[in-house]
Structure 1
Amino acid sequence: MPVIRTPERTAPESRDDGRGPSVSRRFRWALLAALGFVIVPSVYAVAVLTPTGQRIEDAALGGVRESDLFGSDTALNVISVPVILLLVVVIAAVAFARRRLAVGLGAGFVVLASAATSTLLKRIAERPEIAQSPTPNSFPSGHATIALAALFAVLMVTPRRLRPVVLVVGAVYAVFVANQTVVYGWHRVSDIIGACAVALFWLGLVRAVGPAVDRGTRGDRDGHRGPRRVVTVVLLLAVAATVLVGVVALLVGTTGGDHGAMLLAGRMASSAGVLAVITAVWLADGMHTVPRTTRPDGPAVRV
């Protein structure tokens, strides 16, 4: 005897329906945008405009050694203007295929606006010579900005059930890029934190004022709870671990004058900043939970 089943959709898929729950969604993303907006000048003021901030960050640069360099700089070389434009086209194509062109345009805007903002800030921001700093201004990191903005944009056009995989791959790449720029001596920790804030600002702004990314259609199904919970736990543990290692390395470096420890502290601080922003986006997107509450929606299906 055939069974009649009514399709269901989960709460996260129906929360962005343009009514009350949408206000909560917009508020969450607006809050992240405001956070990014505040972090950029705050980090610049503390790390770049003060003698103490410059000395601490330059101490990490003093720990750069040839033996510390990664065997390949492919991750950094990938980031270029043609690749950025190609990424925007691919994002728009995926969004068009999913009939979410408006979301795709918003995602592309996140990438382009983040890259443009990072370039503009680097041109207008100055690094005063108040602590015998050996290198010119590098705030913020364009490589880290684009790596994060690209991840956030791809997540916007990716079906919810596939986002855990996309996020893990993108997070690993973003952390690797942040580490490479610090190890190579291209950027300081503040440059990475500033890049995180720039990408977070534009993502939060687009998600707050733009169309809902998830609308409850089949492609927006949440998938299994297991992978999402694993990703959440891994992100939280990774943030905690990098912070802990970074603090220990900082203490060793400052008390013993160990530049290698200072470099490690800088790498861990950069990684922690990247992972913290990614975790915040993951939680704001409601990807950390899959409520069991469902409701009927749509015509009955014979199975």
Structure 2
Amino acid sequence: MVPARRWLVVAAVCAVVLAAVYFLAVWTVPGQALENAALRGADEAAARDQAAADGTLSRITVSSLAAAVVVVALVGLLRRRADLAFAAVGVIVAGQLVTQVLKRYVLPRPSLVPLTGHYAENSLPSGHTAIAMTVLFAALLVVPYRWRGVTLVLLLSWAVGIGAYTVTAKWHRLSDTLAADAIALGLACLASWWLARRGSVHRNDGPRRIPRVLVVTLAALGGAVFLALGTILIGAALIGGGYDETVRDNAWVVYLAASSFASFGSIAAALAFLATWRRLEIA
């Protein structure tokens, strides 16, 4: 039997990341001020970028989510694995239950900086980011081993784009997307742990597939670029003008950094999940 502890460890790390993101971004003045600056900076984005963000996010509806659930379930059932279909669908459904309960009933947003209207309400975690990431993870779970690379190519850029678009459209803050990434990854790892405990997970000792290796390598490079870009942008702004000046005068730079970090968070979560399944498959 494949050791299942790895997935519990990653799920525990996700819980810690979720708590840290929530505390630093929501319960501290610098966190709230920087994220509000990113919202103001999004106003300076090109009209076509804002329209593209709104249009893409608007296409995520109850109907499209239901269609994704049906497709994932069908793939699992066609593989004659009802447990696999149940686990994959459970990741998507639980993702929405957890995010909506946390956002609406559990996680308050204290008023630490002056802000009124819609943005004064709690928006953590992001439901749209959670949908995109849980659909990605469910698809990676349910497809055969040889199709993981293709699935990653088809869905990763879409999932990463959703996280970044929530910031551009001002539907969510950076912390909302990072929290949703952590929730989605944690749930996917719990589903993987359950499958492993059932004895459904086995090692794959076949040859390495070069296209999949290239896809993962390119994704890792892309994540590194986004992380470096966000760090350089926010670092240069803070060093050049200080915290107060950055929040007041460099909202555009803060927005660009937030968008870059949002993309990095989604890529990092996807690669972390793939790493837990390296050389493993569902029989």
1:276 matched to 2:268? The reply is yes
CA distance in 2, matches of 1:184, 1:44: 21
> How far does residue 74 in structure 1 lie from its aligned partner after superposition?
3.6
1:123 matched to 2:104? The reply is yes
> Which aligned pairs between 1:32-47 and structure 2 lie closer than 5 A?
32-47=10-25
Going from structure 1 to structure 2, the CA distance change for 1:123 and 1:224 (only over 3 Å counts) comes to same
CA distance in 1, matches of 2:199, 2:58: 34
> How far does residue 52 in structure 1 lie from its aligned partner after superposition?
1.1
Give the match for residue 49 of structure 1. Answer: 27
1:67 matched to 2:46? The reply is yes
Deviations 1:238-291 (A, max 9, x none): 12111110011112333343211111000001011111101101111105x9xx
Cα contact 2:126–2:176 (8 A) shared by 1: yes
Give the match for residue 227 of structure 1. Answer: 211
CA distance in 2, matches of 1:207, 1:184: 33
Give the match for residue 133 of structure 1. Answer: 115
- Identity fraction in percent: 32
The runs of 5 or more residues in structure 2 that have no matched partner are: 242-248
1:110 matched to 2:91? The reply is yes
> Which aligned pairs between 1:243-254 and structure 2 lie closer than 5 A?
243-254=227-238
Cα contact 2:76–2:82 (8 A) shared by 1: yes
> How far does residue 83 in structure 1 lie from its aligned partner after superposition?
2.1
Give the match for residue 168 of structure 2. Answer: 183
- The structure with the largest alpha-carbon Rg is 1
Higher alpha-carbon deviation: 27-36 or 264-273: 27-36
Give the match for residue 6 of structure 2. Answer: 28
Cα contact 2:92–2:134 (8 A) shared by 1: yes
From 176, 180, 192, the equivalent of 1:195 is 180
Q: Which amino acid aligns with 1:226?
A: I
In angstroms, what is the RMSD of aligned CA positions?
A: 2.1
Cα contact 2:45–2:168 (8 A) shared by 1: no
CA distance in 2, matches of 1:53, 1:133: 14
Cα contact 2:7–2:189 (8 A) shared by 1: yes
Deviations 1:3-53 (A, max 9, x none): xxxxxxxxxxxxxxxx2xx11xx1111111111122212211111011111
> How far does residue 224 in structure 1 lie from its aligned partner after superposition?
5.2
> How far does residue 71 in structure 1 lie from its aligned partner after superposition?
3.9
Give the match for residue 244 of structure 2. Answer: none
What TM-score, normalized to structure 1?
0.81
What SS is found at the alignment partner of 1:137?
A: coil
Higher alpha-carbon deviation: 29-38 or 148-157: 29-38
CA distance in 2, matches of 1:79, 1:212: 35
> How far does residue 85 in structure 1 lie from its aligned partner after superposition?
2.2
The runs of 5 or more residues in structure 1 that have no matched partner are: 1-18, 290-303
Q: Which amino acid aligns with 1:205?
A: L
Cα contact 1:51–1:130 (8 A) shared by 2: yes
CA distance in 2, matches of 1:168, 1:28: 25
CA distance in 1, matches of 2:103, 2:207: 41
Q: Which amino acid aligns with 2:190?
A: L
What SS is found at the alignment partner of 1:129?
A: coil
> Which aligned pairs between 1:141-156 and structure 2 lie closer than 5 A?
141-156=126-141
